[in-house]
A and B are shown apart, each in its own frame.
Chain A
Amino acid sequence: MNKLAVNLPGLHLKNPIMPASGCFGFGREYSEFYDLSKLGAIMMKAATAEMRFGNGTPRVAETTAGMLNAIGLQNPGVKEIIENEVPFLANFDTNIIANIAGSTIEEYEMVAKMFNETNDVHALELNISCPNVKEGGIQFGTDPKMAAKVTSVVKEASNLPVYVKLSPNVPDITRMAKAVEEAGADGLSMINTLTGMQIDLRSKRPLLANKTGGLSGPAIKPVAIRMIYEVKQHVSIPIIGMGGVNTAEDVLEFLLAGASAVAVGTANFANPFVCSEIIDELPETLKKYGFDTALDAVGKAVME
């Protein structure tokens, strides 16, 4: 029996580890470091209806135990992604999760429909939480009614399971989680980045061209853990957890808090092998803390 296997709506994961959206592109670059078939799944970079150029540079800044990014959803557009990127990823024995962003409900709907027509995408991740685009994105992520609306429209538009990616930039994350669960979400993905800013002492101006950016990396892990722990107690759909994961111990912490699978984002930049190494180390880590399988650990912190 595979002790790392986890089954989620639409996703039969050989292990609960996947690179997070936007931190792994469409896999090409990292496929030169290791065989992507090793991964439980791959969360693709956000897709929008049309090609987007994104924000000005600088787009990233380093912070204590993390980084800020304001890429601005640069991507070649859903058509190009379906024609050129999905077929490449389909060569690997792993699950493909398509991350969708948009500035209108119609845009989410259209992109979801297009992914639905390919045979190679296993699930959708609705990015209703990108802090780095002017319109749309974040509004869907902070207003429970809007979040529910976009979720139900996308559910209607496609047969694929839908994981809604929640923004931490809200006063009550549970309310958001419940709203999208009621609207038909098959799962949650949390958390996206926390809005932040860095001022450059030399220019005395915000360092990022977009002024604000999304904070990711180890600095946000406690926020992610707290939010997953809270949400887990109030929803019954599964959670894919993320935020500052660097090690197999971090993964176990997310599982205990209530995540059924875990995505790794920023850590890929310092160590392109991080997902692969975590997968290798996870069985030993689970054993060390008294678990036979990954599944055994899910939600243990909440239940006891």
Chain B
Amino acid sequence: MARKSNQPEKKLLVIEDLRVSVEEKEILHHVDLEINPGETHALFGPNGSGKTTLLMAAMGFPSYHITGGRILFRGEDITYLPLDQRANLGIGLSFQRPPTIKGVKMRQMLEICGKGEKDPESMAQSLDFEEFLDRDLNDGFSGGEIKRSELLQLMAQDPDFFLLDEPESGVDLESIALIGKVIEGLLQRETITHEGKSRKELKRERRKSGLIITHTGYILDYLDADIGHVLMDGELACSGNPREILKTIKERGYDECVRCCVNR
């Protein structure tokens, strides 16, 4: 089934003319998006514009029906590839609203995500989450705790491509710094050089990529996203420098931001 795209290994993710319906209603219309290896993109857009839908469709959730277009991952057509196989290809998603699973402990979940190769204790430590290891997964977790739970699972899973759905919303100001640092690490975007490498070298070696939904943009203080996009009514209306986009949205609103984009 795997079809090769025109530029095989170069692009990490290619979304072509994607149309997605949920419950018989088309949510995404003709979305195009390309992400290169090592790049992180930010996704903006008003509530209900289809941001979560785009991530869920890219991950392969069956209730998000792809009715047109295709998705390529490392050149392979994954448009109809099942969820678990996409996860095993190296795509990981942090949920905006994950379910609770009773009787399955956080610790057990981390073992599952890490295929038993990662130590839950030390991972939890890095997110100050040790005391949650023996709780049922997401059971009664607060909004901020949910975010840490999701991130921790991704840390264990260690995908190459991260789909992060509002990782910082509902997180207190102090914890944002912690979460920001962790995401920066997961996406290999540390700017502090180590092992005597220059920033340029680090960037070239960087393999991890991401697509991050954010409303506030706080997360951008911790990692420099390469490109930003605005999703409006199920269409990608604008792409550009993420900080500029955020600034325009903050100052003049989504509509104005898109208009200025179009006129440019």
**A and B bind:** no
Chain A positions near chain B (C-beta within 8 angstroms):
none
Chain B positions near chain A (C-beta within 8 angstroms):
none
